[in-house]
Amino acid sequence: MSPLLLGIDLGTSGVKALLLDAGKPAGPAVSATVEYGLSTPYAGWSEQDPEDWWRGVGQVVRTVLERSGHSPDEVAAVALSGQMHGATVLDEAGTVLRPVILWNDQRTAAQCAAITERVGLDTLVRWVANPALAGFTAPKLLWIRDHEPEVFARIRTVLLPKDYINYRLAGVRATEVSDASGTLLFDVARRRWSEDMARALEIPQSILPPVHESDAVVGHLTAEAARHTGLVAGTPVVAGGADNACAALGAGVIEPGQVLTSIGTSGTVVAPSREPRTDPRARLHLFCHAVPGVWYAMGVVLSAGGSLRWFRDTLADELVQRAAAEGRDAYDLLMEEAATVPAGSEGLVFLPYLSGERTPHGNPAARGVFFGLSLRHTRAHLTRSVVEGVTYALADSIAIMRDLGIEVGSVRATGGGARSALWRRLQADIFRARVLTAASDLGPALGAALLAGVGVGAFASAPAAVEAAVRPGPEVEPDEAAAVFYGRQHAFFNTLYPALANRFDALGHEL
């Protein structure tokens, strides 16, 4: 009997569990999802109670075991993927001291400015390979020290979200390289904590947990965790990985030349390399991959699929109602309309900066723009311009990667952008690259399950796990004439942000 591997993806809106047969990893997998909420007590704040995560994990694991019909003692190992950057602060007894400040929380602008002023951008890139951004963990710790000093004084450990669940599963305080890379306290190039950075920010190194490679077994399920989840006490717990690293692993993107594009609420572009390739201008992130000896450069569009969702919810209510009446997906109807419009949306250009922008501009004040709107344009034009604009923004990251000498060969498309034939075609033409999709889109939970298998020897290595589990789906070759046309359109797109940047800042001051 083949061992079963349990991958758990701790997301922002919910937790997903995936049960995989190590003997047939490319075959059908059993999954379940439990949703939970988040708190926004003030504008720009985003927090969660880790007890909600823990309740969700218990529910989703029990559900997936029940659906599978397998016995819990068949589960050989469990590993987690998780949302990055969240500051989960514990006292000596392991009690959570305050709600977790999440990756999308924007309260730390002053702390980021102070870090950059104190350390300097060049030194930040040299020490931790990334700029100081509001999403990262270190600015959150400084905010707690500045605004809640009594809480800061009691902190004995800071854990990332999925590492807190590992703590509840196995009773160990630990992290791993891919998630630690997003703290702004980690020497990404050397895969270890940065003593220089911790010292410069006066953050006690004692609160930073031991760090492992992603496929290491960090502990075993406690009796209490077994009662909570329905699993068997003593089940190995593997370190796991950050959501983007696990998504790349689950899509088979672990080698130089392979690129992952993932379009969900946000959009990411991930490109692995065998050496740490930093961007001197810090436009791209550099993180450790969940595969030993591999790193990845990453660009982020904060409102990718989120832009299309905003458009659907705000400007396409009639279409949403029609989709419900016909038993169809409103996104499919939107894409069908968009496909009737010529390439370039007849001069309409959309800047997808509805919630600020990360790559390449790093400007939280940036906002969305429809440029070139005329009486000629219809909802179909607007839809197509949104999809084209998001793809141009993703292509900005690919252009930087190429400029840095990072190989961009084939692109593996995942998320909502991979389900649409039109969006796959646009990615191929705008990126000037062959675009493939995975035969299944199981996301980071699959990457976590593969790490669980590597950790307990069900697979000899991450490449062996990918070879066994990942099957390519449809592929699209770029059309040369369309690529030339979109190259000109992309160049025009890139003239708009510089023309509007100071107006975005002024708008922020006026509101």
Write down all domains in the chain, each with its CATH number in brackets: 4-251+443-473 (3.30.420.40), 305-438+479-510 (3.30.420.40)
Residue 473: predicted pLDDT: 81
pLDDT digits (tens, 9 = 90+) for 257-291: 999 999 988 899 999 999 998 999 999 999 999 99
Return the bridge partners of 269, or none.
261, 299
Residue 362: predicted pLDDT: 84
Indicate the helix (H) or strand (E) that contains 502: helix 480-510
- The arithmetic mean of pLDDT across residues 477-498, rounded, is 97
Q: Does residue 243 carry a catalytic annotation? A: yes
How many C-beta atoms lie closer than 10 Å to residue 205's C-beta? 12
C-beta separation of 114 from 171 below 8 A: no
Task: Quote the DSSP letter at residue 72.
Answer: G
Q: Which of 52, 179, 243, 429 is catalytic?
A: 243
- Asked if pLDDT for residue 254 goes beyond 70, the answer is yes
pLDDT digits (tens, 9 = 90+) for 333-377: 999 999 999 999 999 999 999 988 889 998 888 999 999 999 999
pLDDT digits (tens, 9 = 90+) for 402-433: 999 998 999 999 888 888 999 999 999 999 99
Whole-number Cα distances in Å, 40 to 101, 122, 168, 241, 347: 10, 34, 25, 26, 38
| Averaged pLDDT of the chain | 94
